[in-house]
Structure 1
Amino acid sequence: MARTPDPGARESADEEEGWLSSDEVARLWPVRKDCLPRAAHLADVRVRTYGGASRGTWGAEPTFYSFHPGDVQRAAEAIAEGRVDIPSALRTDTADGRRAEFWGTLSARVAGTLLLAALLGALLMLLYLVVFLLTVE
């Protein structure tokens, strides 16, 4: 089954309905949102990708995914019946998956807090420098 449709190929009449976003698929599947493309690969779901182009030394653009609605529905039933083997660390209904999501969220929040503290410290040091230079003759 094709992962990404040929860009020049026309869709048939039954495939003209809108493809589903990651948010919509995350509500249907018990899979962590950041792991949806891998789970879709395991369930043979067609996926379209947008973005992700290289910006050279500045990294890459964010990558967005959309999923074929018919394949998503078929996979939702297969996942619920246990016919698709999705590792427990990718799922939201297992202890391993909840633990991975917790630590990922916690590490992102700690990194954000440290960055904010560093910026605040730099701003206070700059303010101290300005006050010091204004008071010294």
Structure 2
Amino acid sequence: MPNTPDPGTPEAVDGEEPWLSSDEVAKLWPIRKDWLSGAAHRADVRVRRSGGASRGTWGAEPTFYHFHPEDVRRAAPAIAEGHVDIPSVWRTDTPDGRRREFWGTLSARVAGTLVLALLVFAIILLLGTVVFLLTVE
């Protein structure tokens, strides 16, 4: 089912405006990018999903969402004014949402830095071992 819209999603008609990507919708809605599809579901916005197929032991491939442009524009004022029930941690205009975004980004960067430092340390240790073994004889 990769690269196909969800069942029941109407097909695009010739001359119809192209569906919006997650990046474009994130600019219009005060919602964190990770939660756009959930917010769209709560606001009755039509969504096309592609990807996400299982790779077995290796997890799943990335999932891409595209949103119907008229539905996005219709829902934007309702979401911005708080008429759609969306948890505060999903939003970018609430202290809870900004806090969650900050700590998520910080923890990802710290984890990436630690993995990189561990990799550099392992390479240096390996090179040091090779140099030691070559000079001992």
TM (norm. structure 1) is 0.89
Stretch deviating more after TM superposition (78-87 or 44-53): 78-87
Read off the aligned partner of 1:132 and give its amino acid letter.
F
Q: How many residues are paired up? A: 133
Distance 2:116 2:11 in 1: 48
Give the structure 2 partner of residue 11 of structure 1: 12
Deviations along 1:42-90, one digit per CA (max 9) or x if unpaired, are: 1111111111111111111111111010110111021133321111111
Read off the aligned partner of 1:73 and give its amino acid letter.
R
Unaligned segments of structure 2, at least 5 residues:
none
Give the structure 1 partner of residue 35 of structure 2: 35
Q: Contact between 1:89 and 1:97, CA under 8 Å: does it hold in 2?
A: yes
Give the structure 2 partner of residue 82 of structure 1: 82
Distance 1:12 1:6 in 2: 15
Distance 2:93 2:6 in 1: 28
Stretch deviating more after TM superposition (79-88 or 94-103): 79-88
Unaligned segments of structure 1, at least 5 residues:
none
Cα drift, residue 12 of structure 1: 4.1
Identity %: 72
1:18-97 to structure 2, matched below 5 A, reads: 18-97=18-97
Read off the aligned partner of 2:12 and give its amino acid letter.
E
Distance 2:70 2:7 in 1: 14
Distance 2:14 2:127 in 1: 64
Secondary structure, in 3 states, of the residue corresponding to 1:103? helix
Cα drift, residue 25 of structure 1: 0.3
Cα drift, residue 6 of structure 1: 3.8
Cα drift, residue 118 of structure 1: 1.0
**Consecutive aligned runs of 4 or more in structure 1 exceeding 6 Å deviation:** none
Read off the aligned partner of 1:38 and give its amino acid letter.
G
Give the structure 1 partner of residue 102 of structure 2: 102
Distance 1:68 1:5 in 2: 15
